[in-house]
């Protein structure tokens, strides 16, 4: 019979390695439509929308995405009805497109933010793939979570956030570019939102979209 303590140690070590791998590679997936190659939005208006369950995280995400996009050379546009636009319903998606058109935006930059992993310290509690993503126009996504928990001693839980980023062309309604980005686990959610924005915007720039 195997030593149960050793088995737990191996399991936790594997989880730690997975989390380390995620932390070292913030871009988990990326895709762009070749039809939009060379069509940079530099200097153009882009409507910025953030989706998150918590209002505070939604607003911080909106601020950080707006700031990073402005620094990239596009003209970010926000709506006073951002809470109504940040929803999964088809009616809300139609409202986003209508708002973008009325503001003269050429595209929509939509960020769906959710917890991606949780870590408890000093007890070796590990959660991987917590949360799911959806969004975009004419496209969607689902997510599932798998967790392992072996609390030892007092827990300090930290969360790693991820964002599904979708850049949509207003004229055609087609997805131009999309990416999933993540951050390392931390209690500083503001810093994580800024990291997600930085990583996403830089990836879009390298793809020639901004």
The string of pLDDT tens digits covering residues 100-113 is 999 999 999 999 99
State how far the Cα of 15 lies from the Cα of 99, in Å rounded to an integer: 43
Interval 3-53: pLDDT, tens: 543 443 433 344 443 443 344 478 999 999 999 998 899 999 999 999 999
Task: Give me 50's structure tokens.
Answer: 């953030």
- From the list 101, 209, 104, 100, the residue with the least C-alpha distance to 165 is 209
Residue bearing the bigger pLDDT, 149 or 98: 98
Place of tokens 């496209």: 139
Residue bearing the bigger pLDDT, 193 or 124: 193
DSSP string, 23-41: HH--EEEEEE-GGGTT---
State how far the Cα of 52 lies from the Cα of 150, in Å rounded to an integer: 29
pTM over 0.75: no
For a pLDDT cut of 90, what percent of the chain falls above it? 56
Q: Average pLDDT, stretch 138-157?
A: 46
β-pairing, 125-128 with 146-148?
Answer: antiparallel
Residue bearing the bigger pLDDT, 12 or 95: 95
Q: Average pLDDT, stretch 125-153?
A: 43
pLDDT of residue 25: 74
β-pairing, 45-51 with 107-122?
Answer: parallel
- Compute the half-sphere exposure of residue 190: CA atoms within 13 Å on the CB side of its CA: 1
């Amino acid at each position: 019979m195997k030593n149960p303590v050793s088995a737990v140690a191996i399991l936790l070590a594997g989880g730690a390695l997975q989390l380390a791998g995620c932390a070292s590679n913030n871009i988990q997936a990326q895709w762009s439509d070749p039809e939009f190659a060379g069509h940079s939005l530099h200097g153009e208006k882009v409507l910025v929308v953030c989706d998150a369950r918590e209002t505070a995280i939604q607003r911080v995400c909106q601020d950080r995405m707006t700031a990073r996009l402005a620094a990239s050379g596009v003209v970010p546009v926000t709506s006073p009805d951002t809470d109504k636009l940040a929803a999964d319903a088809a009616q809300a998606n139609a409202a986003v497109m209508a708002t973008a058109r009325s503001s003269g935006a050429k595209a929509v930059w939509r960020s769906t933010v959710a917890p991606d992993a949780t870590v408890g310290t000093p007890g070796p509690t590990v959660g991987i793939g917590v949360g799911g993503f959806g969004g975009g126009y004419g496209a969607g996504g689902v997510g599932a979570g798998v967790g392992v928990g072996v609390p030892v001693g007092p827990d300090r839980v930290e969360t790693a956030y991820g964002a599904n980023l979708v850049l949509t062309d207003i004229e055609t309604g087609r997805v131009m570019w999309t990416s999933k980005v993540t951050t390392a686990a931390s209690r500083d959610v503001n810093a994580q939102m800024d990291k997600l924005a930085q990583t996403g915007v830089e990836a879009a720039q390298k793809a020639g979209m901004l």
